[in-house]
Structure 1
Amino acid sequence: MDSLSSSGVAAVVLAYHPSSDILSNIEAVSSQVARVYVVNNSPDAEAASVLAPLAGRDDVELLDQPGNVGVATGFNAGIRAALAAGFDDVWIFDQDTTVTEGALDRLIRARSAVGERAGVFGPALRSNATGVIYARESGIGAGEVDVLISSGSLFSRSLLEAIGFHDQPLFIDYVDHDICLRARARGYVNYKVYDAIVDHSFGDADPVMLLGRRVYRANYSPLRHFYSTRNRIIVIRRHGFGRWFWEDLWFTSKAWTKVLLIEHGKLSKLAAAARGTWAGLRYPARELRW
């Protein structure tokens, strides 16, 4: 364990019907932090069997949830446990993200250089499928950004006390956008640290050929498209249009192009998105205030 990441940092890894790959990901994280909280959103026999090798470890604590409580509630459960145990920084992850050596130290060094207005800090993302850093993830040093994805993001106790935790009714998707934009609204600055790299997959990363080029399908379920569409509208209503929106529009357009051209279940996904649009527009105004 490196000196910068010894006693003050805990990690949270969210598990949902995990494969055995989660164990190597947890091992990579645990080498850089003092404790890992594994939040199990699928407390069934199969998940218990996969996670069984973690039993008895002093540096890993398993937090079984009553069911699939969602990404926001799951992350919050792990974060609360870490803060209650006295940790001042929490590094959060999806189950399919693998950290690289020294990533946490690089995040902490970059944050230290910013000072008291440091917001959410996150790494650059490299594709698990291709081993190549995503096109918009390349840079030098640390760069100011509006939003970061949840997986790999580092939160300080002081930041969370100022802006609050993840918005649990969002459940999944745009949970990360919302908390990052709330940090910016309170005067904090979020950064992507380009020399801190994690390997990450979006969805299934299922390869197919399109016009002679290999592309990767996410294959998200209709339910995921419902929440994604609903929550995008909620975040727009809460935070307005900004740089984050135009960047997100590029990603969303690209994702829907793949859905319409090469994914199965197009009609059910379009119907789910339509329901999500209506739900986002009807979301109670009182719930938009934070």
Structure 2
Amino acid sequence: MISAIVVSYNPELCSFMELLRRLILQVDSLIIVDNSQRESNDAFDFMVQSGIDQDRVALIRLGDNRGIAAALNVGIVVALQDGAEFVLLSDQDSLPAEDMVPKLLEAYEALVERGEDVGAVGPTFTDLHTGLTYPFQAQLPGHFFYGHQAATSEAPHVEALTLITSGALIPAHVLHDVGPMREDFFIDQVDIEWCHRARSKGYRLFGTGWARMYQRMGEAHLRVWYLRWRHESAYSPLRIYYRLRNFVALWRLDFIGWRWKVRNSWYWLGIVYAHAFFGKKDRVKCFLYAIKGVWHGLRGKMGRLE
């Protein structure tokens, strides 16, 4: 039995409904955990429930934005109580291929058959903003720091250091062993912390080229000069705050290797550089929120920014 958990927050209904329609055809049950700050919304209820099998859908309203980690944990508890053998995680900005879940399960079974202790399997994803298809973070032979590796027809399953939340298929026994998502991270890098925690317990994570997903990374994209023109995901000042704060929190975790931390620091410096110099708006605010995020991370001030 596979249960999908979708976390929503004021979603754009047309794309959200397409996500739900695709998922309900591929899983046994669908749990929607809504973080929107509203009492009720008949139009939202109608859109969520129309055109899909309502007997296999649960809609849980939290009534406030408690963050993606808390919402995922609520959904995971319900799924496991209902007897799910696998949990598929998703945010509202994803569009899975019509065969994504069966292909993820097929990849999982193939990996287990060859003797792997699989903690999670994730699809290859393409950013809908930039059109870029991303490889997986991987520790490549001969590389001191991690690199990136794309799945190929000859090697369709890549052992990954981390997987993004959306599209991750996780066995129930792994969730019981590794534990819930860290709710004090609120909305960013929740997946990264959980992935490193799972790996520290001996599980291996895999990205597969057999399964495909389309994802909206960030709110838009930026054209950035770094030795050449590149496209990077764009984020609001608030998202910059959470991303920098939570990255500093990751630095403080002993089960994450220092080489990953050093390599990833370069990436986050690049994010600040891109938004401070090439942002389409709020450049100064992005920079100030980045500084605030680092300061709060150093102080251990976590949770929702009030």
TM-score range, shorter chain: 0.7 to 0.9
1:39-94 CA-partner distances (Å, limit 9, x unpaired): 11004278652342223712221110120000100111111111111111110111
Identity of aligned residues (%): 28
Q: TM-score, normalised by structure 2?
A: 0.82
Rounded to whole Å, the distance in 2 between the matches of 1:39 and 1:30 is 15
Structure-2 residue corresponding to 1:36: 30
1:3-22 CA-partner distances (Å, limit 9, x unpaired): xxxxx101011111101110
Structure-1 residue corresponding to 2:3: 10
- Residue 123 of structure 1 contacts residue 195 of structure 1 at CA under 8 Å; is this kept in 2? yes
Rounded to whole Å, the distance in 1 between the matches of 2:117 and 2:274 is 39
Is it true that 1:49 corresponds to 2:46 in the alignment? no
Pairing of 1:70-149 with structure 2 (within 5 A): 70-115=67-112, 117-134=117-134, 138-140=150-152, 141-149=156-164
Once the two structures are overlaid, the 10-residue window that deviates more, 121-130 or 246-255, is 246-255
Once the two structures are overlaid, the 10-residue window that deviates more, 135-144 or 268-277, is 135-144
Rounded to whole Å, the distance in 2 between the matches of 1:38 and 1:61 is 6
- Residue 137 of structure 1 contacts residue 194 of structure 1 at CA under 8 Å; is this kept in 2? no
Structure-2 residue corresponding to 1:150: 165
Bigger helix share: 1
1:236-288 CA-partner distances (Å, limit 9, x unpaired): 2113435543563454344333202221212222222212212212228xxxx
Rounded to whole Å, the distance in 2 between the matches of 1:121 and 1:209 is 32
Once the two structures are overlaid, the 10-residue window that deviates more, 37-46 or 82-91, is 37-46
SS class of match (2:252) = helix
Structure-1 residue corresponding to 2:273: 257
Unaligned runs of 5+ in 2: 136-147, 302-306
Structure-2 residue corresponding to 1:160: 175
Letter in structure 2 aligned against 1:160: L
Structure-1 residue corresponding to 2:139: none
Alignment CA distance shift 1:69-1:145 (3 Å): same
Rounded to whole Å, the distance in 1 between the matches of 2:233 and 2:126 is 16
Alignment CA distance shift 1:223-1:204 (3 Å): closer
Structure-2 residue corresponding to 1:59: 56
- Residue 43 of structure 1 contacts residue 64 of structure 1 at CA under 8 Å; is this kept in 2? no
The two structures, once aligned, show a CA RMSD in angstroms of 2.5
Rounded to whole Å, the distance in 1 between the matches of 2:74 and 2:39 is 21
Rounded to whole Å, the distance in 1 between the matches of 2:236 and 2:40 is 21
- Residue 23 of structure 1 contacts residue 51 of structure 1 at CA under 8 Å; is this kept in 2? no
What stretches of structure 1 move > 4 A for 4+ residues in a row?
Answer: 45-48, 206-214
- Residue 144 of structure 1 contacts residue 192 of structure 1 at CA under 8 Å; is this kept in 2? yes
Deviation at 1:129, TM superposition (A): 2.8
